[in-house]
Amino acid sequence: MGTTYTRLDKNNAAVLLVDHQAGLLSLVRDFDPDRFKNNVLALADLAKYFNLPTILTTSFEDGPNGPLVPELKQTFPDAPFIPRPGQINAWDNEDFVKAVKATGKKQLIIAGVVTEVCVAFPALSALEEGYQVFVVTDASGTFNEVTRHAAWNRMAAAGAQLMSWFGVACELHRDWRNDVEGLGTLFSNHIPDYRNLITSYTTLKPSK
């Protein structure tokens, strides 16, 4: 039996970036470190491009988890930032939940470190409260592929949709004609091979 295709809507979506912290990033082993950070920043850039409400949160910053990746604060200087004093599940933090509810959005795009904890716990909690949850798999990292797939299976079984940042961007954009250059630039900045496509397009495009 098939399920209903629930697509992302840029007018009803918010982005939750959970615990992308300097210390925790060193635990990510299921992605190449440089590629993983690029994926995280790509998700941040698409959130900014589509003007999606974005919430940043960290866990136990003063401990070994370390501070938030500085590029995220630079991208979202005015976004709600919730440094959780100890709660492992961000949804257990009252300020975080208030910030999510204040967006007024029912679709939550979530990514974080590590996948089976910092992503899965708030994702499952949000699903329980009736939100539609979209997990950005390649902007979420963990120790190895075994723990990654266990987390993916758990979230998918509960109703979360698993997507890549590229898939998220395309589903939000819907139609290339909305803005070829803008989306093309975003892709080119984070996918080196995509730059060739855009170069070809701009070279062959007739001048007005």
Which residues are annotated as catalytic? Answer: 118
Residue 158 CB neighbour total at 10 angstroms: 14
How far is Cα of residue 4 from the mean position of the Cα atoms in its chain?
23
- Cβ contacts of 76 within 8 Å, gap of 6 or more: 44, 47, 48, 54, 56
Contact 6, 131 (CB under 8 A): no
Residues counted in the chain = 208
- CA nearest neighbour of 87 among 77, 97, 78, 73: 97
- CA nearest neighbour of 8 among 179, 183, 133: 133
Report residue 196 as tokens: 């060739």
- CA nearest neighbour of 96 among 59, 130, 131, 70: 59
CA distance 138 to 125: 21
